[in-house]
Amino acid sequence: MIDQREIDLKENFKKYQVTDCKTLEDFLKKYYKEDRYFGRGEEYAKSLLEFHQEYLNDYGYDFISRHDSVTGRIVSFYLPLIKEG
């Protein structure tokens, strides 16, 4: 169950949201420093993607720290809203 702190974090990270990626994998490939994502080997990259996917599934968003981001700033990715129609 998500507590109030997680809800607050999710709202606070929206100011770092990027909207130019359609999938989590695209997001990580574009914004994660290459040497920290792929530079540690294929198994590590796969494990990192799985970790971020699990976080996204659990909380509805994911982020990359400023230390790991190619921008030098925090960036976040949110699950797209499903439009009912």
Q: In this predicted model, what pLDDT tens digit does every residue of 17-58 receive, in sequence order? A: 999 999 999 999 999 999 999 999 999 999 999 999 999 999
| pTM, to two decimals | 0.86
Residue 57 parent element (H or E): helix 42-59
Q: What does the pLDDT read at residue 9?
A: 86
Residues 6+ apart with CB under 8 A from 67: none
- Please state the length of the chain: 85
Question: 82 — alpha (psi -120 to 50), left (phi > 0) or beta?
Answer: beta
Does residue 71 carry a pLDDT above 80? yes
User: Domain segments of the chain: what residues?
Assistant: 4-15+30-78
Please give the share of the chain, as a percent, with pLDDT higher than 70: 92
Where would I find the beta strands (DSSP E) of 26-85?
Answer: 61-64, 75-78
- Amino acid found at 72: G
Please give the share of the chain, as a percent, with pLDDT higher than 90: 80
